[in-house]
Amino acid sequence: MKSVKAVVDYLKSGNVSYIFGIPAGSVNAFFDELYETPEITPIVTKHEGAASYMAAAYAKYSNEISVCIGSSGPGGTNLVTGAANAMREHLPILFLTGSVPVHTVGLNASQELDAHPIYESVTKYSKRVDHAEDLLDEIHKAVEIAVSGVPGPVHIAMPIDVQLQQVEKRALPPFPKRTPLLPEDAVIEKAIKRITSSSKGFIFAGQGVRGAVPHLLELAELLKWPIITSPQAKGLIPDDHPLRKGIFGFAGHESASELINEGDYDTILVVGSSLGETATNNYNPNISQNKTMIQIDYDEEVFNRKYPVDTAILGDTEVALSYLNQSLHLLGYERTLSSPKSRRFENLTDEYSTKNVILRLQDLLPTDTRYTIDIGEFMAYVIHHMNVLENDSFDINVHFGAMGSGIGSAIGSKLAEPNRPTVSITGDGCFFMHGMELLTAKEYQIPVLFVVMNNARLGMVHHGHSLQYQRAHDRFSQEPVDISSLAKTLGIPSVRVNDMEDLNQESIHPLLQHNGPTILEIALVDDRVPPMGDRVKFLSSFGK
């Protein structure tokens, strides 16, 4: 059998359902095997970068490894940004790239690229396999590395001739499953002593609490400690929980900033946050100043990176929180179940503004909608103003911040959870990067509503320069494009909104009923400074 058939059979044995990417000469042998493997559907995208974002969202919401493929040369380089994104988000993705035949390496062959060293800094493992008999074993090794410990992306480059060479048929190695990382008992005991001796503490939750929210809320209710979250964790803690004090960091809330900057807390428990720039308001020293810091994470590299940690609990978040809760129960702590606080929904006005648009959208869309949020000035409004009505309702990638990633994320998310309504909130700048993936969604009948905030400029850049330099270059803007008309030429239903009166149930309902992608274009230039929190102060004072 061909060595590449063994690879496809192996992926099939691991219940891989989709391969995201684009076929080309150096990976044609791989795609040819999919004819005989109906269990795996190739999602052929319009750009490899978008394929990588789809794979990332699919891995996140299916809790399974994703597979993404590109050709040698440009296909491989187009996937690198997605690999870097997956590395930051700890998402297990197997990146496969083609490679020129082994005997032509170094001879300036067509689309030749030594890809594996390029991927080394943005993956957990990267290798080119030059011998057919090693290909399956290397794929298996890579998958095992991807799902073990701290999950993350891996990369294997497959030369054309290696894929086509015959190998002996043999039993497939067992497809790896992730083993939970258990914290040490002694460390849990140390943390409990610090927690129970604290007079006043609070919890700082990051995106790493996904899947462990019930345990986190139980801990908070046992201790009666308030919770603040990072922007990346938007949507994980319900807004109406009485202990929630808002978001700290980029576009955060004043209530959370007051807790950090003015509160008299002596202990902080950081759960699932790497405490990066956007989560800490540019590394605010008040987060840990005069406080005992306890941090839970499965990635030991986040400990003591910027803030000194007194007790580092290395382990899976869900397990570590469960251990802490058990210990507190044994010590006689009782959980206080408070009634949800009444939600304070902001008043809508007739003013045509970004804030009013996103709040009206949430009124009109199903409560269990998942929003995949792209990069742009609208992102600040989403983080600051939109409500958390259902668990895991926002996918925000402010951490790596790749424009256009929210478009692919919506498609990958919908494939992972087909029954959940999915809406991508993107901008015209992001749309011009990856908007043609609407055709991918159309071809595969993937129903996603794409809300395009069209202000005919790079809005975040415009506001950043205006704050930092008191001016913005004319070229940050562009000639307005009617995106809804463009969508119609693609055969995709669309509605263009020019004022608040256009944004109503009658305009949105038909878009939600369509069996495929639809566009809601918001034509709006909003010159208000986005609610970026302390980021505004940082940019305004930059260089002064």
Whether residues 73 and 105 share a domain: the answer is yes
- Name the token pair of 36: 């005989």
Query: Quick one: tokens of 9?
Result: 């059979």
Query: Order of strands across the sheet with 422-427?
Result: 394-396, 370-373, 422-427, 449-454, 518-523, 494-497
Predicted confidence at residue 161, as pLDDT, reads 95
- Tell me if 173 is assigned to some domain: no
Q: What is the DSSP letter of 166?
A: B
The residues, ordered by sequence, that sit 6+ positions from 38 with a Cβ below 8 Å of its Cβ are: none
Euclidean distance between CA atoms 387 and 365, whole angstroms: 12
Last residue of a domain, one of 130, 164, 198: 164
Count Cβ atoms below 10 Å from residue 13 Cβ, excluding itself: 13
> Within a domain: residue 375?
yes
Q: Do residues 417 and 477 share a domain?
A: yes
In a domain, 60, yes or no: yes
Residues 358 and 256 in one domain: no
Q: Which residues contact 61 (CB under 8 A, 6 or more apart)?
A: 412, 413, 416, 417
Does residue 220 share a domain with residue 131? no
Q: For residues 122, 124, 127 and 132, what is the CA-based torsion angle, rounded to 10 degrees?
A: -140
Cα–Cα distance, 128 to 134 (Å, whole number)? 10
Structure tokens belonging to residue 236: 């994980």
The verdict on residue 105 lying in a domain is: yes
Residue 339, classed as helix, strand or coil, is coil
Q: What is the pLDDT of residue 540?
A: 46
pLDDT at residue 464, rounded to an integer: 67
Q: Where are the beta strands (DSSP E) in 192-291?
A: 201-205, 227-229, 244-247, 267-271
Q: How many CB atoms lie within 10 A of CB 510?
A: 11
CB 49 within 8 A of CB 20: no
Task: Assess whether 513 and 384 both reside in one domain.
Answer: yes
Please tell me whether residues 245 and 216 are part of one structural domain: yes
**Nearby residues of 496 by Cβ (< 8 Å), 6 or more positions away:** 482, 483, 484, 485, 502, 521, 523
29 inside domain = yes
Q: How many domains does the chain have?
A: 3
In a domain, 171, yes or no: no
Q: What pLDDT sits at residue 541?
A: 47
CATH of the domain at 37: 3.40.50.970
Per-residue model confidence (pLDDT) at position 43: 98
Asked whether the beta carbons of 209 and 317 are under 8 A apart, the reply is yes
Residues 360 and 420 in one domain: yes
* 21 in the same domain as 145: yes
Neighbouring C-beta atoms of residue 64, cutoff 10 Å = 17
Look up residue 443 and give its two tokens.
């071809």
Q: Is the pTM of this model over 0.75?
A: yes
Is the same domain home to 399 and 319? no
- In a domain, residue 403? The reply is yes
DSSP-based helix, strand, coil % in the chain, nearest 5: 40, 15, 40
The verdict on 362 and 442 lying in the same domain is yes
Domain that holds residue 157: 3-164
Render each residue's pLDDT in the chain as its tens digit; 544 residues. 999 999 999 999 999 999 999 999 999 999 999 999 999 999 999 999 999 999 999 999 999 999 999 999 999 999 999 999 999 999 999 999 999 887 877 777 767 788 899 999 999 999 999 999 999 999 999 999 999 999 999 999 999 999 999 999 999 999 999 999 999 999 999 999 999 999 999 999 999 999 999 999 999 999 999 999 999 999 999 999 999 999 999 999 999 999 999 999 999 999 999 999 999 999 999 999 999 999 999 999 999 999 999 999 999 999 999 999 999 999 999 998 777 777 777 788 889 999 999 999 999 999 999 999 999 889 999 999 999 999 999 999 887 878 899 999 999 999 999 999 999 999 999 999 999 999 999 999 999 999 999 986 565 665 566 667 777 766 666 788 899 999 999 999 999 999 999 999 999 999 999 999 999 999 998 777 788 766 555 444 444 4
Look at residues 274, 298, 330 and tell me which one is the last residue of a structural domain.
330
User: Are the C-beta atoms of 440 and 415 separated by less than 8 Å?
Assistant: no
CA dihedral (308, 538, 248, 379) positive or negative: negative
CATH number (domain holding residue 292): 3.40.50.1220
Residue at 176 is within a domain: no
DSSP string, 22-72: ---GGGHHHHHHGGG-TTSEEEE-S-HHHHHHHHHHHHHHH-S-EEEEE-T
